[in-house]
Chains A and B, each alone.
Chain A
């Protein structure tokens, strides 16, 4: 019953004065809420470091683990530098093929991230498009799209990705596996993640399409696709940004899981998941670092991005502010 109390602040009659100041005021509000949360700031720093480091991997990594010329089998299974028997050249040790683990993590993270981003991009475009369409048209089209989404939602994303992987390989054959692996992963993630976007966007679209500014645009005779693009989309995109953030972390995990299960990237092009799979084989023979460091990196990245996403959701939601 706090409505009467809040009413007074929510609707002070706005004066003509100082309208320009208000935009900045809102911006700085979001900035202030960001700075006031130490966890968020830390998460953002971790995310930026990991993303930046992996995207700039060729510049910051000591070696290129994809280049067989730089790899020496004699260096394989070296422990991290500070452990007895460690080599100063290899900060985090080496894997079974003698690759510098630190470099491999940076490169692997880059692969994971590119696949994740591309997959999420496909999912977002597909989901937003279908969501706008279903929400706008309504009726049977809407019912059909949403039932498909419901059915898909009952399968875990991994299962769908496995299915797509199997189908593609059935078509192109196992010989092409290495060349298609990248595209298959992106497609799998894209096709398994679209549902959430579609549902969110469809819901918001159904709300927005009945608002009077959309009616006004219809009256002017603006064609429906343009109304969707220019009026509805900008007004439903807020929640999508939140899902996008969190989904990138989720996509990286999915990629890692697929690669761990062996349907993802081959060991010649290691992603984080591939590294973890390789490391898993050596866990019980004492070479813990091969699985531990890629695993920790993955966990840190996912946690950091999720925390940033959580904050974003709260910051963009006026009700929680």
Chain B
């Protein structure tokens, strides 16, 4: 592992215009409505690491993923990969070269594969596009190799996506992501559409591939148990902001941000250990009109006037006034 971070995300921002059409808006005398999906997110990922972003719906975690891979333009801030800024005027040639190293695995394996294409062509598309192999035989050979790598049969290249189950399709999607020798894979809820026994297959496969090929993952999920299984470092997002970043072990053993604690408490207790739990309160506010100050304050038992007025800046990985002021009670280390 090198000390040099492979991915550096600095103060990333993205707003969406969710206003009504111009004519309607003008007639109703409404102003533009902007949704701050991502509001100043910074983190970095070292090579070979799995960085997980967790959060509930509307937390902006998928938006971050799409900006990191370049599917979405940031409204502000910067993504650097191997030190090269991925936005802005310069470095165009280097960016093109780096693009090849970044691929993505999507949530719904039924939507991420073109239903009209044969599996061999789906996997062959990046091989051709990035010039890994040119002639037909080499592409076919490479596609077959990849299919074997993800636990399928090279003969499956002749089939169409609908002939496969969800888990098998996700394997195909993984093969496509690896086709151009990419080493940084952004995984957007890769198993949340799958059954648990299939999820286990896919998670194990992803870990094996990471060990074999030295992959780096940015892993997006709402499922803390899955994240616990995959991640080396975890970032918890709430309403577009990163509220806590910590090494996985530390985050689960000693969560500091009140929201992280609440999330952990909400996870169903399969082991029936009878661990102490505090009931969860309230629902996530609309990101169109987020609460003032710290956006978590309406659901937080520790909120005071400062929390309602002033957005906390991250200190030592935690963005919380209560933590900074030492108002958060210590948790027993058992959790």
Contact = CB atoms under 8 A, between A and B. Distances in A.
Interface string B211-225: 000000000000000
Given A19-B159, A19-B164, A221-B129, A13 B195 contact: yes
Nearest to B66: A215
B210 interface: no
A19 B118 CA distance: 13
Contact of B112 (A23, A216, A235): A216
B195 A213 contact: no
Range for the number of chain B residues in contact with chain A = 20 to 34
Contact of B125 (A19, A23, A211, A222): A222
A234 B117 CA distance: 9
Interface string A190-221: 00000000000000000000011101111111
Contact of B106 (A13, A22, A215): A215
Contacts of A13: 165, 195
B163 A220 contact: no
A308 to B, nearest CB: 24
B160 interface: yes
Contacts of A211: 111-112
Nearest to A143: B21
Nearest to B125: A220
Most buried by B among A19, A219, A221: A219
Nearest to A210: B111
Given A216-B104, A220-B130, A221-B99, A16 B114 contact: no
Contacts of B114: 213, 217, 231, 234-235
Given A212-B111, A218-B71, A16 B126 contact: no
A138 B233 CA distance: 39
Interface residues of A, number: 22
A156 interface: no
Interface string B152-164: 0000000110111
B115 interface: yes
Contacts of B10: none
A219 B71 contact: yes
Most buried by A among B102, B103, B106: B106
B165 A22 contact: no
Given A23-B160, A222-B125, A212 B112 contact: yes
Most buried by A among B114, B130, B159: B114
Interface string B105-122: 011100111111100000
Contact of B164 (A14, A217, A220, A221): A14
Contact of A213 (B99, B111, B126, B164): B111
Contacts of A234: 114, 116
B77 interface: no
A16 B104 contact: no
A219 B116 CA distance: 19
A216 B106 contact: yes
Contact of A22 (B71, B111, B162, B168): B162
Given A13-B195, A23-B160, A234-B116, A220 B111 contact: no
Given A19-B159, A221-B99, A234-B116, A215 B125 contact: no
B69 interface: yes
Interface string A230-261: 01001100000000000000000000000000
Interface string A4-15: 000000000111
B70 interface: yes
Nearest to B112: A212
B125 A217 contact: yes
Interface in B67-120: 69-71, 96, 99, 102-104, 106-108, 111-117
Interface of B: 69-71, 96, 99, 102-104, 106-108, 111-117, 125-126, 129-130, 159-160, 162-165, 168, 173, 176, 180, 195
Closest 4 CB pairs of A and B: A212-B112, A19-B163, A212-B106, A14-B165
20 contacts: A13-B195, A19-B163, A20-B159, A22-B163, A211-B111, A211-B112, A212-B106, A212-B108, A213-B112, A213-B114, A215-B71, A219-B70, A219-B99, A219-B103, A222-B125, A222-B129, A231-B114, A231-B117, A234-B114, A235-B114
